[in-house]
Amino acid sequence: MAEMAAIVPPKWSRYALEIYMKREPPVLGTLDWLKLEGKAREKLKDYPEAFNYTFGSAGTKSTEDANLAAFKDWKIVPRMLVDSTQRSLETTLFGVKYPSPLLLAPIGVQGIVHPEGELATARGAAKAEVPLIMSTASTRAMEPVAKENGDGKRWYQLYWPRTDDITLSLLSRAKANGFTALVVTLDTMLLGWRPHDLDTSYLPFGHGVGVQVATSDPVFMQRNGIPVRPDERPEFPYDPVKADKALRSGDQTQMINTKLGTGWLSEGNSGMFRTWDDVKFLRDNWDGPLILKGIQRVTDAEKALSVGVDGVVVSNHGGRQVDGAIPSLYALDKICKSDVIREAQRDGRFTILFDSGIRTGSDILKAIALGAQGVLLGRPYMYGLACGGAEGVEQVCRGILADAEITLGLAGYSRLDEIWGKRDEFMTQINWNGKD
């Protein structure tokens, strides 16, 4: 028998081999997301409101819990004696090839958990080769985030402003700074019922923190008669008590910041709900992929297709908006069973992305098997940011993708297209009593 050549590990699973060979633990000290959550809580122990604001959920937390539980109902059924030595997680979204289906979900106010906020996330995402979706509620402006992201892929998430002139300004800036896709969040026209924030009256926007996309916007700032602040960086740690004292003492800087913060809230979370007729304005003024985030109903997904958007994110905002809602994975399964949606996906006319509940590599594969073409990762990378900045974000991304690639091979598959939409071949659904 001829001597077999040495096997070169595939792209992502190489990360696990590096850790073993170096005999050094990962930067964050763990790749277990639950332990990492604990580390993030400990890191922010002096600012518990910041932890609760970033990682908390609506109401009783039942929707977040349902998101995680839904993945447990689906069990992978591995197949054997299939050559999955060489593996790839490559996928194509909106005509662009990506090394994996993973994207970083848009999460706002990152500057309350790390001094560099979105700048560190932008660097970590680029290093990990994972696209960044920047939030409208960022603590940094688009321009410096784009600069830190460099050659990385980036999309922009829009909290739809109440007024068209500001919307157009944001779209223009996003395009100018290399954000290639527009993700429009539909489920946050007003903030959800979040007792953990209400109990402490914690809302950073009210002090001008998390509105740096606004304070760097020429249209918004001209409306307020104040020069733009292109590289504003809110103080870390954010101290609401200190800001309140400054307000009471008549501090002019804080008074202006509060005015800008509340003004921006009235734009992006105004309580004014949009309708399907309004989507045309965005379609007419954005020439890249247009994606609606927050879709949970089959009829809404089909409607999105009919009005000319390019894709949707099946999401319940990680359980942060509506308590007692269906798990996002359940919604994904229903939507991807639609013949209309499936045909549009196969023809390349429509893309389904998934968000809310992704924690592990197997979660990614389960979402792909149910019909998602890409997945958004949320809380785990923010744990990485809180604990380790850019390196922490990079580690979380590399870790979950290594997990996904290893699991794909052990399940007997080499490429995502072998499992995409093949839920009944790749896995089975088992109830809590252990019966299928």
Residue 419 CA to residue 327 CA, distance in Å, equals 22
256: number of Cβ within 10 Å: 14
Total residues found in the chain within this entry: 436
Which amino acid is residue 30, in one-letter code? T
β partners of residue 292:
184, 312
Alpha helix segments (H runs only) across 177-248? 195-198, 212-215, 218-223, 240-248
Q: Cα(78)–Cα(62) distance, rounded to whole angstroms? A: 31
CA–CA dist 382, 249 (Å, integer): 35
b/e burial code for range 332-367 (CB count within 10 A of at least 16 → b)? bbbbbebeebbebbeeeebbbbbbbbbbbbbbbbbb
C-alpha span between 34 and 53 (Å, rounded): 18
Taking only Cα atoms into account, the Rg of the chain, rounded to an integer number of angstroms, comes to 22
Catalytic residues: 317
Which amino acid does the sequence have at 179?
A: F
Long-range contacts (CB closer than 8 Å, 24 or more residues apart) made by 37-43: 37/379, 37/383, 39/383, 39/387, 40/113, 40/382, 40/383, 40/386, 40/387, 43/386, 43/387
- Interior CA angle at 395 toward 68 and 290, to 5°? 65
Under DSSP, the state recorded for 312 is: E
Label residues 286-319 b or e (16+ Cβ within 10 Å = b). bebbbbbbbbbebebbbbbbeeebbbbbbbbbbb
- The CB density around residue 61, as the number of other CB atoms within 10 Å, is 16
Q: Tokens at residue 311, please?
A: 């894709």
Collapse the DSSP code of 249 into the 3-class scheme (helix H, G, I; strand E, B; otherwise coil) and give the result: coil
How far is residue 391's CA from residue 290's CA, in Å, rounded to a whole number? 31
Closest to 315 in 3D by CA, of 133, 179, 140, 92: 133
